[in-house]
Structure 1
Amino acid sequence: MPEARLAHSACAAPTAAWVEAPVNYLADLSVRPVTYNPPPGTGMPRREGNYRDFTVRIRNGRPLARSFSLDRQAFVLTRHDTKVRDFYDEREVRSIYFPEVEALIKRETGASKVVIFDHTVRTADRAVERGLRTPVRSVHNDYTEKSGPQRVRDLLPASEAEARLAGRFAEYNVWRNIAHEAVEMAPLGLVDAQSIAPRDLAVCDLVYADRVGEIYQGVYNADHQWHYFPAMTREEAILIKCYDSAKDGRARFSLHSAFDDPSSPADPRPRQSIEVRTFAFFD
């Protein structure tokens, strides 16, 4: 386990052991889930499916952060300093932050090659008019058994893709707060992958203007064990494993969602965050 994560985990801020909050799940599969994602700045996503809010207990993960593992829980919290000054500057993100994320993924996973292929800046403050996206308030996972390998084929030359697909690979998201103040609004809740049953992952078409992708939406299961890291700062990052090709008992998928923290201030600062999507390939 990287020393940076161990050292940082010991500096947890004193907060409640847990909170209760509603999160948006699929109640069942009576309606096939589909999400229509318009181009940024043109509107909000539209969803089909039998979604409902379920109140869950979300545990403060900071006291437990030393014990979390990408291969068990499918998420970890780590210290991650950055030299980026403005995360809204596309050139700065690509030229400075992408190399930082690549080094982080290699450090945390031991991957021999990392491919960064996508990033999304989200804000709860006038997102649509600013051409950005809002925090996602549904329980989901970014890749499926089918769409993980397909995305590799989309990104790499055909010969390299097939060679890489023959070995182990995984998709990791790196999520961080990009404001200079700690997160107060819509923190990220994460489900311990050890509490997810196969039936809890429902395939959902993700329809864009130019392509159709596929994600998992979470089906409600009272056994899900939720965690979050309250008051995240700009010097922290969460790694989330959304796909793993290995079928040896380690976590392969995860579930996560933004939620309204009842312990937040009455007038919280709008959340600002970035997530970077990466593939890690292992020799």
Structure 2
Amino acid sequence: MGTVLDEPPRAANRHAVEAELNYLAPGQGRPVNYTFEPPPGTPWNSGELAPTRVTIRDARPLAAAGEFSLDRSGFQLVAHRSAVDDFSDDSVIRLVYYPEAEALLRDATGAEKVVIFDHTLRDSEGGSRANASLREPVRRVHNDQTFVSGPRRVRDHLSADEAGQRLKHRFGIVNLWRPLSVVERLPLALCDARTISPDDLVPSDLVYRDKVGETYSFVANPAHRWYYFPRLRPDEALLLKIYDSRDDGTARLTAHTAFDAPHTAADAPPRRSIELRALLFWPAQ
């Protein structure tokens, strides 16, 4: 993390946009975020936000040139058409989409084992943070796990014996993010992992009804290089690096957030998406 990158070619800047991203304001301590309606008088999210205007570049020209990969930039675009055309049925998601996603993740990463541990449907019109089955897009810069909670996920989802063995070798967590219609509203902004510094990361509590997880919030850093894929389609998906145990210059995580794209048509359809989070295990080296 923290590599200084050369300025991208002008072709990548031609369709850049300026937009505000919601970073965490410095000096906020440890934020707390609830996944369910908190007790009376307790805010859903603590920690003051610092909306920061940034340039968000069109990733498509550079992606076509091979600039981005899961292990270099922390995100990657993949072409993949799902056999599922109705994501309203949870059983179909688990019986059909999960196996599809496992195969895609194995092929894209070389992992020998994939364990999907949850999925989230989002809808910018009908979703709500109070509705666990249909959430709204997240409009703050974040990463879904930390260097502490990543290994904890292995112990949560594998037997004690297998977890002990898997933790000795490389493992990771990847978010497979797919739009359910062409994205016109609230696209996803992705930060190049090579521009993130360890000082940008702020561990944050994510409170569930039965446990407290840990995610990263981010403070602003002018070195951050942001990208998005305009008009992402349902036959395209994004891989987002959430955690990687490898510490050799490989991208270990990235930052992402939904953002209000300028010039979005007033009658643009709502943004609908599904994301799967999966543990990946590679063969022992």
Task: Please give the TM-score of this superposition, normalised by the length of structure 1.
Answer: 0.90
Contact 2:15–2:58 (8 Å) recurs in 1? yes
Q: Extract structure 1 runs of 4+ deviating beyond 6 A.
A: none
SS of equivalent residue, structure 1 residue 97: helix
1:145 counterpart letter in structure 2: F
Aligned to 2:223: 223
SS of equivalent residue, structure 1 residue 239: strand
Listed as ranges, the matches of 1:1-283 within 5 Å are 17-38=15-36, 46-65=44-63, 66-128=66-128, 131-179=133-181, 182-283=182-283
- Please list the CA deviations of residues 77-111 of structure 1 after superposition, one character each: whole Å capped at 9, or x if unmatched: 11011100211110111111101110111111000
1:257 counterpart letter in structure 2: T
- Please list the CA deviations of residues 203-242 of structure 1 after superposition, one character each: whole Å capped at 9, or x if unmatched: 0011111110000001111110000001011100000001
Residues 123 and 15 of structure 1, relative CA distance in 2, 3 Å threshold: farther
Q: Using the TM superposition, give the Cα deviation of residue 125 of structure 1 relative to its aligned residue in structure 2, in angstroms.
A: 1.4
Contact 1:114–1:280 (8 Å) recurs in 2? yes
SS of equivalent residue, structure 1 residue 261: coil
Percent identity of paired positions between Structure 1 and Structure 2: 50
2:28 counterpart letter in structure 1: S
Q: Using the TM superposition, give the Cα deviation of residue 31 of structure 1 relative to its aligned residue in structure 2, in angstroms.
A: 3.8
Aligned to 1:7: none
Contact 1:118–1:278 (8 Å) recurs in 2? yes
Residues 16 and 186 of structure 1, relative CA distance in 2, 3 Å threshold: farther
Task: Please give the TM-score of this superposition, normalised by the length of structure 2.
Answer: 0.89
2:163 counterpart letter in structure 1: A
Q: Using the TM superposition, give the Cα deviation of residue 16 of structure 1 relative to its aligned residue in structure 2, in angstroms.
A: 5.1
Contact 1:31–1:50 (8 Å) recurs in 2? no
The CA distance in 2 between the partners of 1:207 and 1:29, in whole Å, is 21
Q: Using the TM superposition, give the Cα deviation of residue 253 of structure 1 relative to its aligned residue in structure 2, in angstroms.
A: 1.3
Structure 2: runs of 5+ lacking an equivalent:
1-11, 38-42
The CA distance in 2 between the partners of 1:155 and 1:31, in whole Å, is 30
SS of equivalent residue, structure 1 residue 95: helix
Give the total of aligned pairs.
263
Q: Using the TM superposition, give the Cα deviation of residue 34 of structure 1 relative to its aligned residue in structure 2, in angstroms.
A: 1.1
Structure 1: runs of 5+ lacking an equivalent:
1-13, 40-44
